[in-house]
Amino acid sequence: MAMRQPIESGVPDNKQWLHPVMLKNYGNWKYHDRPRPGVLHHVAHSGDQIWTVRAGTQRQMDLFTIRKLCDIADQFADGYVRFTIRSNIEFMVKDETRVAALITALTAAGFPVGGTGNSVSSIAHTQGWLHCDIPGTDASGAVKALMDDLYEEFIKEDMPNRVHLSTSCCEINCGGQADIAVIVQHTKPPKINHDLVANACERPTVVARCPVAAIRPALVNGKPSLEIDEKKCMCCGACYPPCPPMQINDPEHTKLAIWVGGKNSNARGKPTFMKMVASGLPNNAPRWPEVSALVKKILYTYKADARPWERMSDWIERIGWPRFFEKCELPFTKYLIDDWRGSRANLNASTHIRF
């Protein structure tokens, strides 16, 4: 039997799934406001209006959940939805009178309405133990636990500015830059199963992957393998994906770190990378309470101290890093002083010091 040839259709055209009001006013919107948290109201130059109701989802959705969302869209909205980059779902209606019932239906079905404006939006996250081949921790679980704690901040708009969170289950950081990010930080070099390396790994590739040139080819027990200069190794785990016998994950020594101040928007200051501010948190499934506690500590310190429109990075820039650590009651350890290439740019080459 001949195999079916794929239809190389690539990216589908979104026009076929756009709400008619959005199609009609495509590229011709004038302004928007937010009548309440979770609701956007856009007005076009034509005078047409559309209301958007945004709700949080668990991202990893079963068919029943997706069909439930479709039922709500068909019954209470106009049958059109879209997803945001943080896995929130949006329902569009052209009639303001439909907004309240839509909110009620979503809330009753367990989907929190919010995530707009100066709220804490849902967490961008990775695959974790559910599906990834190299995860140091789980993603969906840590996110569920944290969003349970931050539920009120999702459904309200009480923050100085929008807050983006992310979690990542290894240092590759698929979860991405965020105002507060939770990222796995390994603390011990890989444990190598020398019996498997020769068959499972392309050794030159693995050697080339190491950012600190700590990996060398070696003969171990008469078999071609790899060895690690453990004094050089900084436990990033880069060797593990191309060489699974170099196990970096460890139930005890794989820890979690907290990073703050990532911002991709150009608004006010230029985009910023997030910075590591805490590490050594235990990989404490199923709810990672130590992580949630520290994220909340930082988040509520920011909430209390930042001025309107300041993102996490804007706030820290205004008060200075020493005060950030002081206010958040975090120890500033030697591990937080950058020693990687280009790190001198992160040193204070001035007498600008706040006392």
Partner 1 sequence: MAKKPHDTPMLDQLESGPWPSFVTGLKRLADKSDYMVDLMGQLEHSYKTRKGYWKGGTVGVFGYGGGVIPRFSEVASMFPDSSEFHTLRIQPAPGMHYDTNILRKLCDAWEEHGSGLIAFHGQSGDIMFQGVSSAKVQDAFDAINELGFDLGGAGPAVRTSMSCVGAARCEQSCYDEAKAHRDVLNTFTDDIHRPALPYKFKFKFSGCANDCMNSIQRADMAVIGTWRDNMRTDEGLARKWFAKHGMNELVNDVIARCPTKAIMLKETKDVSKDGKISSVAINDTQSLEIDNPNCVRCMHCINVMTGALAHGKDTGATILMGGKRTLKIGDLMGTVVVPFMPLKSDEDYEALVELGRKVIDFFAENALEHERTGEMIERIGLVNFLEGIGQEIDANMVSAPRTNPYVRTDGWDDEVARINAKKAAD
Site for partner 1, residues 82 to 101, rule: CB under 8 A: 82-85, 87, 89, 92
145 binds partner 1 (CB under 8 A): yes
Nearer to partner 1, 269 or 322 (CB): 269
DSSP structure string for 35-48: EETTEEEEEETTS-
Nearer to partner 1, 71 or 326 (CB): 71
Q: Which of residues 294-333 bind partner 1 (CB under 8 A)?
A: 307-309
118 binds partner 1 (CB under 8 A): no
Nearer to partner 1, 172 or 220 (CB): 172
Amino acid at 18: L
344 binds partner 1 (CB under 8 A): no
256 binds partner 1 (CB under 8 A): no
Least distance in angstroms from the C-beta of 326 to partner 1: 25
20 binds partner 1 (CB under 8 A): no
281 binds partner 1 (CB under 8 A): no
- Do the beta carbons of residue 331 and residue 184 sit within 8 Å? no
- Do the beta carbons of residue 283 and residue 255 sit within 8 Å? yes
User: Residue 143: which H helix or E strand, with range?
Assistant: helix 140-149
**Token output for 328:** 């958040």
114 binds partner 1 (CB under 8 A): no
Kindly report the CA angle at 149 between 315 and 116, in degrees rounded to 5?
A: 60
Q: Which stretch binds partner 1 (CB under 8 A): 12-20, 189-197, 329-337, 346-354?
A: 12-20
Least distance in angstroms from the C-beta of 6 to partner 1: 5
- Do the beta carbons of residue 239 and residue 190 sit within 8 Å? yes
Q: Give the whole-angstrom CA distance, residue 90 versus residue 83.
A: 6
Helix (H, G, I), strand (E, B) or coil at 145: helix
Among 325, 306, 327, 317, which residue's Cα sits nearest to residue 159?
A: 306
Q: Which of residues 231-250 bind partner 1 (CB under 8 A)?
A: 236, 238, 244, 249
Helix (H, G, I), strand (E, B) or coil at 208: helix
**Token output for 75:** 């019954």
Which of 130, 219, 293, 337 lies at the binding interface for partner 1 (CB under 8 A)?
130
Which of 17, 300, 332, 335 lies at the binding interface for partner 1 (CB under 8 A)?
17
